[in-house]
Structure 1
């Protein structure tokens, strides 16, 4: 089918850049009703008879004809021409473009899934539909919930707000394991206990450091008091920027990661410079790092 000349009206809401998960639920139901879904999920089997292969090609083309009017124009432009004759190739291409991928996306979606509350939705239909949508998106990441991910998921959902910045670090750290996460949390607990911040009486009420900024004053001339204190170094800034201001205080695992990232950036810079040297005369070219 020619995607530009098709005049069929979409039987479901059209796929755009922002609704792949919802569209996938609708198109799956539509194709299953026509007994064509399997032809969009499995490649043809070369071991089958010529007749069976011909049937697969015809069914895959029929599926593509059914899918095409459900795709908006901007999305069609991202597909190769031969995808419009093959439902399997079309669905595979769309999944590569829009399906959520990676551990970080899996963890984010799973946390959202298990944190849903019926009270946040205006109807039972809306509530159940959102559950189904999240299930499809989680399945689309092709990530398996192993022991490490299960532990990280539990920590991310139960740690207090003061430790939530660790979940962002874990999401950005390749090969993150439950043991590494536990060690990081234990190290942070030891760090906080050894800070030179006293307690009042036996009630365990922490004293808050008060700092003044002479350069920051009220209209009357009084210095503005800042009651924010970093739990790591005891200075007047938030904990999430402490290691940026004082990198020498960062734990070894983070310093090692910074070193790796620095080497990676230098390697990319060297590669770009090499490419620039190999292509002389291209005036006006620039490198945006």
Structure 2
């Protein structure tokens, strides 16, 4: 059996002093799939026949070949070299070296977690923190989930780009209870940021002047026609949006708000509808950054796109135009005033309400903590990933 040419082997990371948890999990899956795990975990039985023993030895050498290729020089010298003909002893020694519960080993792993720091690369931070937490679990170091979560967020507070987002996550009690939910929200933030960077990396325009004092070139709309060349005076800059979010709206502390996208919050103070996922939009255009006021003078939200969201609320189909895309928003907000230009009638009965508008008819929902919530879903034919289109796309 030729493993060296197998891509499965190449997917196993090189074992070093800090990634044993991930390494052993991956290589165990591979060996089990090849029916070779017993060869590692058990010595050669003395009562086997010569044929069976030869087959066992052949499998043992195959595994030694795999392990040798997937460890660094230090591990090879300390462990593999002295047991180069017995895979069972190699496997046992690796476990003693990196997964034992001895004080020295536990201290080594714990110190790695303590000195672990954020270096500006969020994806690397997410991956490495997961690997270190796996190492802690491997040697049975028990740390309360809340401590893990606050530690993950605390290492990010020095980054100005992450500060406001970290603050929102840290105030959510249900989210803090599970470090994996923190990882999921950080991954979502990273993916949204990467998507925005890719969409904004367009080729430089030939109209850019290289002089010391370049002149701004302005194109006007003439003869009743709109000139799509930026910056057009008719669409020079969007008005800044205002969302006077109360504490109950800006910092919704419920697990459903953060990890289930099937809920909308009715906001009576917002000037625009606001959504935190590209998947919600049927069309979306990149805009100059729109700063959204939250009522807290120390922090603002940043919208990078505007478009249309189509959602189903019960039997009602809502087409929400001029919706803002705000990646770090905790929950999706629907502006009460933007739902209708005319009359709006709200009827409340205990913990339920119905909202009647001229544009969409009657919308029903629930009230919890004095916040109006409506359940929604994205129509199947609109369930696609929308890319940010450049502003004034030509």
Q: TM-score, normalised by structure 1?
A: 0.35
Q: TM-score, normalised by structure 2?
A: 0.27
* The structure with more helix, counted as a fraction of residues: 1
